């Protein structure tokens, strides 16, 4: 057992942890003053790649090719980078206890690591594995959250070419893994209870275009009330399919491999019942990402922060852009730089089958959708007489900038006027006109 002390300690090894290290280095933290402690055996990496280029790239993305900070710009943060910056990284170190008041970590090996100035909690989320569902322990059932998961799933999908694969879930992981499995030659069925794919973001009208694209690739969709009730045993401890239920009627589907992609939950158990204020399923922080515990910050997936763009409403975001920027915010605050209050713009994206969509802002209120996949699809959401968010398939850089402008400025628009664009199916015009209104600070003149 060993004890060590640093000015700044980062707990976690995902995107947020890597970018916190980057911000400490760029912010002037002295060599030897920063320590990162992570359970994973590899350095921080761009986690979104796990369900994209990691599975269906040619060749697939692998470490060290997608180390952290690549997406945000800057040098690849490999082992040499951490050594050069004087950042101590403790890989394969599972933390079993956190003393919040003392800013002290205890590992499974009995080691202790204490922060004198600031402890950054960057513990992220864990995949929901449906562990209470009968048969969840069978071989051939996968989740995807970490590098080791990705390696295992990639090999399994390669071996499953020509076989039946079931993807449980219709969100980001479900859609992206289903696409990868299909591209590897698997016979894919998606099973989820919602009425359409990506229900938290897509309207039924948007979803219909993507569902048609998936069906055209031969992917089968079993949804609209269908719940996974059990994983079926082949008699040798491996999965052979899934039993699902709809309207109290039970059915079975065959599958030699199952991927569960039904979301994730914040990893906050280590600080539970220690007086740290919680909110939105995570840890409540202020505009500097500081928790209610002195000297303790929370970043990335676990941080419930005041979203200035939404009047300061507490929000938790599971996205790499937020992981990067919240980590930098906390590191700057810990260094005494007094950054301006955290100002984040909600942003989501995905890439499947050559399709690539982006979303900025809020998807609430009345939606106006224009166009199709030949060549573009776009949606603008209007809430309280203001355009508050926009979505677009395959936006150009200029259109992406326009969407960001809409989200930030929230221009006043008239829904009836926007809807006049629908017959023309001019998705580009929908985005440009609303963005122009944002720049002018006036009603959209459609």
pLDDT category, 72, cuts 50, 70, 90? Answer: confident
pLDDT in tens, 9-34: 999 999 999 999 999 999 999 999 99
Predicted pLDDT at 442: 53
| Mean pLDDT, residues 266-270 | 97
Given pLDDT bands bounded at 50, 70 and 90, which one contains residue 279? very high
Helix segments in 246-396, DSSP class H? 320-334
Report the percent of the chain where pLDDT is more than 90.
87
Question: What is the rounded average pLDDT for all residues in the chain?
Answer: 95
Which tokens go with 383?
């809430």
- The pLDDT, as a whole number, for residue 413 is 92
What integer pLDDT is reported at residue 446 of this predicted model? 53
pLDDT (0 to 100) of residue 418? 86
The predicted model gives 307-333 an average pLDDT of: 97
Task: Please compute the mean of the pLDDT values over residues 85-112 and round it to a whole number.
Answer: 98
By DSSP bridging, strand 296-298 and strand 282-284 are unpaired
CA angle, 199 then 202 then 205, to 5°:
115
Helix (H/G/I), strand (E/B), else coil: 122 = coil
Smallest CA-to-CA distance from 10 within 26, 33, 30, 28 is with: 33
User: Looking at 44-53, 328-337, 342-351, which range is the least confident one?
Assistant: 44-53
**What is the rounded distance in angstroms from the CA atom of residue 303 to the CA atom of residue 203?**
27
The DSSP code for 340 is P
Instruction: In whole angstroms, give the CA distance from residue 226 to residue 224.
Output: 6
- pLDDT band of residue 263 (cuts 50, 70, 90) is very high
pLDDT of residue 231: 98
Greatest pairwise CA separation for the chain in angstroms:
71
Residues 437-445, mean pLDDT to the nearest whole number: 70
Say if residue 71's pLDDT is above 90: no
Hey, which bits of 151-199 come out as E strands? 164-168, 187-191
Output the pTM of the full model.
0.95
Residue-wise pLDDT tens digits, 157-174: 999 999 999 999 999 999
Banded pLDDT at 439 (limits 50, 70, 90): confident
Confidence (pLDDT) at 445:
55
Find where tokens 């594995």 sit. 129
Contacts of 274-279 spanning 24+ positions with Cβ under 8 A: 274/98, 274/99, 274/100, 274/101, 275/100, 276/100, 278/304, 279/304, 279/314, 279/316
SS (H, E, C) 52-111: CHHHHCCCCCCCCCCECCCCCCCCCCCHHHHHHHCEEEECCCCEEEEECCCCEEEECCCC
Residue 197 is predicted with a pLDDT of: 97
DSSP string, 224-279: SS-EEEEEEE-SSSBEEEEEEEETTEEEEEE-SEEEE-S-EEE--GGGTTTT--EE
Over range 91-104, report the average pLDDT.
Answer: 98
Sheet holding 386-393, edge to edge: 347-352, 355-361, 386-393, 377-383, 366-371
Q: What tens digit of pLDDT does each residue of 377-415 get?
A: 999 999 999 999 999 999 999 999 999 999 999 999 999
Please name each of the domains of the chain with its CATH number. 3-126+265-334 (3.50.50.60), 141-262 (3.50.50.60), 354-440 (3.30.390.30)
Residue 65 has pLDDT above 90, yes or no: no
Angle between helices 397-409 and 427-440 (to 10 degrees): 50
Res 374 pLDDT > 90: no
pLDDT at 64: 84
């Amino acid at each position: 057992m060993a004890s060590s002390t640093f000015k700044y300690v980062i707990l976690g090894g995902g995107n947020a942890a890597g970018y916190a290290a980057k911000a400490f280095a760029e912010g002037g933290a002295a060599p030897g003053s920063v320590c990162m402690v992570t359970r994973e055996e590899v350095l921080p990496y761009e986690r979104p790649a796990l369900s994209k280029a990691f599975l269906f790239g040619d060749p697939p993305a692998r470490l060290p090719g997608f180390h952290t900070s690549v997406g945000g710009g800057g040098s690849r943060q490999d082992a040499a980078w951490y050594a050069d910056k004087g950042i101590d990284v403790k890989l394969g170190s599972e933390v079993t206890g956190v003393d919040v008041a003392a800013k002290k970590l205890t590992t499974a090996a009995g080691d202790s690591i204490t922060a004198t100035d600031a402890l950054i909690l960057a513990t992220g989320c864990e995949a929901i594995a449906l562990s209470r569902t009968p048969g969840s322990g069978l071989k051939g059932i996968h989740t995807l959250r970490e590098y080791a998961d990705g390696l295992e799933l990639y090999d399994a999908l390669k071996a499953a070419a020509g076989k039946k694969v079931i993807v449980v879930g219709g969100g980001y992981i479900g859609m992206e893994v289903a696409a990868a499995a299909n591209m590897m030659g698997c016979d894919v069925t998606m099973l989820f209870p919602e009425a359409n794919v990506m229900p938290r973001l897509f309207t039924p009208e948007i979803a219909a275009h993507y569902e048609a694209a998936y069906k055209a690739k031969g992917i089968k969709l079993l949804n609209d009330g269908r719940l996974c009730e059990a994983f079926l045993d082949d008699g040798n401890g491996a999965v052979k399919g899934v039993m699902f239920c709809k309207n109290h009627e039970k059915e079975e589907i065959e599958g030699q491999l199952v991927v569960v992609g039904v979301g994730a939950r914040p990893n906050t158990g280590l600080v539970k019942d220690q007086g740290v204020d919680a909110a939105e399923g995570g840890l409540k922080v202020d505009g500097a990402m500081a928790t209610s515990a002195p000297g303790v910050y929370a970043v990335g997936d676990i941080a419930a922060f005041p979203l200035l763009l939404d009047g300061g409403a507490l929000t938790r975001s599971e996205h790499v852009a937020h992981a990067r920027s919240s980590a930098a915010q906390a590191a700057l605050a810990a260094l005494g730089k007094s950054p301006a209050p955290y100002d984040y713009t909600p942003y989501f994206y995905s890439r499947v089958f050559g399709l690539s969509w982006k979303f900025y802002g809020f998807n609430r209120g009345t939606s106006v959708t224009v166009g199709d996949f030949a060549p573009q699809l776009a949606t603008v959401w209007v809430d309280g007489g203001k355009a508050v968010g926009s979505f677009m398939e395959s936006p150009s850089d200029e259109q992406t900038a326009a969407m960001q402008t809409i989200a930030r400025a929230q221009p006043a628009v008239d829904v009836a006027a926007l809807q006049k664009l629908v017959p023309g199916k001019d998705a580009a015009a929908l985005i440009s006109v609303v963005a122009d209104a944002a720049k002018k600070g006036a009603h959209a003149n459609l």
